[in-house]
Amino acid sequence: MALPKYTEPHYRIWHYIYLTICGAVFFFLIAPLFVIFPLSFNAEEFLSFSDGMKSLDPDAFSLRWYKDMIYGTKNPWGLAAKNSFIIAIFATIGSVILGTVAALGLSSRHMPYKGLIMAVLISPMIVPLIISGVAIFFFMAKAGLAATHTGIVLAHIILGTPFVVITVTATLSGFDHSVTRAAASLGSDPVNTFMKITLPLILPGVISGGLFAFVTSFDEVVVVLFLAGLENTTIPIQMWTGLREQLSPTILAVATCLIILSTLILVTAELLRRRSERLRGINR
């Protein structure tokens, strides 16, 4: 966004001030994440840059916190990671199935009480997590599902479905319904039509909704804090406990791994978004 040559000087100054402000905000957004990388390789037990690190002395860097994360006897990170992945995967599958099917119904123009039902389906996203946590805890305690994997998976399905519903209904809004009618007129039954025609076309939306559901479950801590017992500990719970009690560099090693994971998810989500925009462009 270069300025035209005839711009008057004081607008030019304004423009540079504006760019500086933008730069500062971008820095504010992204810089905190990059503090974690170098400190996780710290050879010492402190959470600030040692003099050795400032002068880039190789002895000041080490992998000891990563070793501690993986082999540390006191650290339940292995169990937490296993639980987190199991819970997130099942919660994602559940959310994607329930959410996609519901989105198909919601995008039908015959759907009665669309606004009201949509409001109910989206509500877990809007209601403050602490209230969802209390409510879900009461239910799971009554159903005897507190401190079980099943209970946590169900809770995360509740929290994850709104994202799937939103992304899939958005994808379906650009969906050309005549293709399903064409399939039906050629003798395909509804299930076959869905699997062979509809699903491949809305797949980017479904997958990005699934990514949202996965991340929601994988990062979720408020509801899990109410529900989890000792055996159901997850990565967020361990981080929460660690951050409350003592900030050790091992947490930073875990945080670095999480940032790498979220970068991977971001790249996937972006590629999907562009693909789905391209597809919708063609449909129009």
Asked if 36 touches another protein (CB under 8 A), the answer is yes
| Member of 215, 224, 227, 253 binding another protein (CB under 8 A) | 215
Tell me whether residue 228 is exposed, middle or buried, using C-beta atoms within 10 angstroms of its C-beta: 0 to 12, 13 to 18, 19 or more.
buried
> What is the C-alpha separation between 234 and 78, in angstroms, rounded?
9
| Residues between 1 and 30 with contacts to another protein, criterion CB under 8 A | 1, 11, 18-19, 21-22, 25-26, 28-30
Asked if 202 touches another protein (CB under 8 A), the answer is no
> What is the C-alpha separation between 243 and 86, in angstroms, rounded?
24
Asked if 204 touches another protein (CB under 8 A), the answer is no
Q: Which amino acid, one-letter code, is at 109?
A: R
The distance of closest approach from Cβ of residue 198 to another protein in the complex, given in angstroms and rounded to an integer, is 12
With CA atoms as reference, report the closest residue to 97 among 173, 192, 194, 175. Answer: 194
Phi and psi dihedrals of 44, rounded to 5?
A: -105, 175
Asked if 195 touches another protein (CB under 8 A), the answer is no
The distance of closest approach from Cβ of residue 243 to another protein in the complex, given in angstroms and rounded to an integer, is 5
DSSP, res 195: I
CB of 30 or CB of 230, closer to another protein: 30
The distance of closest approach from Cβ of residue 226 to another protein in the complex, given in angstroms and rounded to an integer, is 7
Site map 50..89 versus another protein, x via CB under 8 A: ----------------------------------------
Asked if 129 touches another protein (CB under 8 A), the answer is yes
| Member of 80, 172, 239, 279 binding another protein (CB under 8 A) | 239
With CA atoms as reference, report the closest residue to 206 among 86, 90, 102. Answer: 102
> What is the C-alpha separation between 5 and 16, in angstroms, rounded?
15
**Residue 42 β-bridge partners:** 61
Stretch near another protein under the rule CB under 8 A, chosen from 57-65, 67-75, 174-182, 235-243: 235-243
